[in-house]
Every structure is written in structure tokens, then in C-alpha cells.
Amino acid sequence: MTEVRPEEILIASIAGMLDGLRHVAVGASSPVPGAAALLSRARSGGGLRVSVLGSQAHNFFTDGGKELFDCAGQGRIDAFFLSGAQIDGQANINLVSIGDPDRPKARFPGSFGSAYLYYVVPRAILFRMEHTVRTLVDTVDFVSAPGISEANVYRPGGPYKMITDRCLFTFDKARARFTLESVHPGHTVDEIAENTGFAYDLPDTVPTTPVPDAATLALIRGPVAEQIAEVYPAFADRVFGTARAA
């Protein structure tokens, strides 16, 4: 396999946000962030602690979510990943329902610990693998976790960046606004505007998200693919062909 897959670009891009940190935790249903955390650890020579929920081999927690929340509250987790059915221009997340909450058009699993982690983890990275106007909206229908807080609220954590299947945004907490940072290969600035339901800032020049180099691809397709397959075998087989390679 020589062609660089979109997932590999995302994995490498997210890993760059994690380099130099101490401890990164990854929640459920997060194969791309999980692979990115494992890639960053591989590049650090093992210096980064990675906790992937659901893993036995790559998880420092022995008590699941409760220990995750304890560590986060103690300032012992530097980065975590959050997503939502809807994400709006102020980085609010909706994990509850679409439409009127009393008579919703659709319901989702719920907020779990997203609001708490959003407040206490310094580098909350948003990710959404469906970049459309129905997922990236002007205003969420229900605020599961707020992107910003009043000035008198103690909040060491909050949104850092948001990556989608089309592009990468950075978030300015002071202005409560996203800026388009880069566009993934094969996508365009006009396409991002057409498929984004909220307003954001646009620099004069928008670069293309870098494609991982040969050394990074070797790590992704080698040890990272093997490690993430423990938790997400279907993902690893689809992207890396791990089952066929075995």
C-alpha cells in the first residue's frame, strides 16, 4: 500500500498536536484519535503516556471512566478528544438530541462526562468525521458541553482545535471563534465554506494539510496499526489491511 489514505493524514495531523505532552487520554469510538496518540507516543520514544479506553495493552486506567475523571480533575491529563452530533461556531457540543428536546427528531447516547472534561482538560481536541452543514451548525440544538465560559468561571480546559474529514480549524478562546488552519488534500476552501454552517475566520492564504512523510507512514502502518487493532480491529483492517497482512 503506497497511496496515503485520508485517515493517515488525520492521524499524522492530530499526532502533531500531542507531541511534547505528558498524558493523552482517548475515549470510546475514537480509532483515529487513538491511532494519533499511539503515533505521538512512538515518536516520543515512549515518553508520552497514552490511555485508550477499551484497551488492555494501552490503558493506564484500572477503573474505567471514574479514574479518567479523577486524573483529569487533578490536572494529570493534557489532552482529550470530544465529538458531537452537532458542533457550532462557539465550539459548543451537542450529544443529546436534535430539534425540540421535549419532542426530539433524534436522540443520542448522551453527554456522559463531556462537559466535565471540556472544563478541566487543557487541550480538548474536537473531531468530526462528517463535515456537513447538518453537523457543523450555527447554533447547536442542545448544549451538552459549552465551548466557552464567563470570565469569572474557573476553567483550565477548553477547545484547542477541531479536525474534520475535510479540514483543520483552530479555536480562539478569547474571541470564541474558529479560524480555518488548513484544508486536507483533495478538498478546497470553497468546499469548506459550502459545508460549514457557522461563520469562521479565513486567513489570506490557507495551506494544505501536510501529508505524512515516509518515516511517519512507516510508524502508522507498522506498530501503530498493530496496536490500534487491539481495540478497533475493523478500522485497522479497513485502513491498514491488518487482518490480510496477518
**Cβ-proximal residues to 63 (8 Å cutoff; 6+ apart), any chain:** none
pLDDT digits (tens, 9 = 90+) for 28-44: 899 999 999 999 999 99
C-alpha cell at position 126: 474536537
Tell me the DSSP string of 133-156: TTTEESS-SS-SB-S---TTS--S
Determine the longest span between alpha carbons in the chain, in angstroms. Answer: 55
- Class of the CATH-defined domain 83-112+127-212: alpha beta
Q: Smallest Cα–Cα separation from 87: which of 20, 133, 55, 124? A: 133
pLDDT at res. 242: 77
Cα separation values, 128 from 42, 82, 86, 193, Å: 25, 9, 9, 16
pLDDT at res. 243: 62
pLDDT at res. 166: 98
pLDDT at res. 246: 47
pLDDT at res. 220: 98
What sign results for the dihedral spanned by CA atoms 103, 105, 111, 112? positive
pLDDT at res. 202: 97
Give dist(CA 88, CA 141) in Å, integer. 10
pLDDT at res. 198: 98
C-alpha cell at position 98: 436534535
pTM over 0.85: yes
pLDDT at res. 245: 54
C-alpha cell at position 108: 443520542
In three-state secondary structure terms, 103 is coil
Q: Smallest Cα–Cα separation from 193: which of 205, 183, 185? A: 183
pLDDT in tens, the chain (246 residues): 579 999 999 999 999 999 999 999 999 899 999 999 999 999 999 899 999 999 999 998 877 778 899 999 999 999 999 999 999 999 999 999 999 989 999 999 889 899 999 999 999 999 999 999 999 999 999 999 999 999 999 999 999 999 999 999 999 999 999 999 999 999 999 999 999 999 999 999 999 999 999 999 999 999 999 999 999 999 999 999 976 554
Each domain of the chain, given as residue ranges in start order, spans 1-82+213-246, 83-112+127-212
Q: Smallest Cα–Cα separation from 51: which of 163, 43, 71, 171? A: 71
